Amino acid sequence: MINRVALLFVYLILLLFLVLFVLMFQSSLSYEASRVDYRLGSDSVKNSLPDSRKLKFISFVSVNPNQIELYIRAFLSISKSESLKNSEKLSDAYFGLLKIRPSWPYYYSGLAQIKKIEQNDFNPSANKAIMLAPFERKVVLSVSQLLFSNWESIDSVMKKKMLVYLSSQDDVVIERLVGSALMFARLFEFCDYLYENNRVEYQTCKREFWQPLMDST
């Protein structure tokens, strides 16, 4: 009987600690969210977004700042299909966010995407994204989309830098990048480069009937 009472007492103590921990976490999250919301307001980021009322998820920004970037990316997709309608507001939003997190690579890769829509030079933003996120998968995928969608117009130096960056990823990521190249009809060029530099015949390439070029020797 005494053992059961002791176990019940220990159980109640643990439950009390768990409740206190949850309450403290919620309080901390609310405080951080209010700080983020204030900083966003002070930098006019909130007003730069196409629809600031949809920033109801702002409480998550302090935990995962990528959340707000993903929200902007959603409007970035709309801009691609609706010409330059939202690009200026999106640019303002990214520049405002960079004041808050100047080393956040997602913002630079997103800004590079906007520069591409505006037909402006996206190299500085792309370079910054590559430097800050050598192995961040979402940034890598974004850079691949920039490269493959601008294959003919991008300058040779930047093309080389982006190809080196992409080919340095692990095999799992490279398989996804091959899919990105396929989307923009650049699979054969990318698979040729991978084979020449990594000496690997990736399965994703071979499934699309790619074969390595015959050596001239």
* pLDDT tens per residue across span 112-132: 888 887 777 889 999 999 999
> Which residues, including other chains, have CB under 8 Å from residue 176's CB and lie 6 or more apart?
137, 141
Among 113, 107, 105, smallest CA distance to 84 is for 113
Spell 172-201 as b/e; 16+ CB within 10 A means b: ebbeebbebbbebebbbebbebbbeeeeee
Per-residue model confidence (pLDDT) at position 161: 96
Q: CA 195 to CA 210: how far, in whole Å? A: 11
90 pLDDT band, cuts 50/70/90, is: confident
Whether pLDDT at 186 is above 70 = yes
The two tokens of residue 176 are: 């996804």
pLDDT value of position 105: 87
pTM given for the model: 0.65
Q: Give mean pLDDT, residues 40-50.
A: 46
Query: Per-residue pLDDT tens for 59-86?
Result: 334 445 555 666 666 666 555 555 555 6
Select the more confidently predicted residue: 121 or 140. 140
pLDDT of 47 over the 70 cut: no
| Predicted pLDDT of residue 131 | 95
Q: At what angle do helices 87-100 and 105-117 cross, to 10 degrees?
A: 160
Report the Cα–Cα distance between both ends of the chain, in Å, rounded.
Answer: 87
Mean pLDDT of the chain: 74
Query: Of 95, 91, 32, nearest to 59 (Cα)?
Result: 32
| Euclidean distance between CA atoms 217 and 212, whole angstroms | 14
Rounded to 5 degrees, what angle do the CA atoms 122, 183, 155 make?
Answer: 30
